[in-house]
Amino acid sequence: MSPETFRNRLEDGRCNNYLYKMIGREGLVSVWKHQGSYVLTWEECPNGQQSDEASYTRDERHLLASLDEVIRFLTENRLTPAVFRP
């Protein structure tokens, strides 16, 4: 999605999600606005192991103060709003 759509969805109280599959692993990055801050979660596991949280290779939760911080975090992790889907 475009950066504008990414921002507008968050401001409207909706969640932006990025689902991905790579060789041997799959993951979900979610971003939403909550009480004036932005919550970003990132979960990653071996293929087919979503129901077994003990197998997660990445299980992060970040509380970010601004949309600029969200974009900075995404950029530092080689992601952009373009990879997210409504």
Residue 86 lies in a domain: no
**This prediction's pTM:** 0.90
Residue 63 lies in a domain: yes
Residue 84 lies in a domain: no
Mapping DSSP to helix (H, G, I), strand (E, B) and coil, where does residue 1 land? coil
Residue 58 lies in a domain: yes
Give the H or E element holding residue 21. strand 16-22
Residue 31 lies in a domain: yes
Residue 85 lies in a domain: no
CATH of the domain at 15: 2.20.25
Say if residue 66's pLDDT is above 90. yes
At residue 48, the pLDDT reads 87
Residue 38 lies in a domain: yes
Q: Please state the domain count of the chain.
A: 1
pLDDT 10s digits, 13-59 = 999 999 999 899 999 999 999 999 999 999 999 998 888 888 899 99
At residue 4, the pLDDT reads 95
Residue 19 lies in a domain: yes
For residue 73, give its domain range: 3-79
Helices (H), the chain: 3-11, 67-76
Say if residue 86's pLDDT is above 90. no
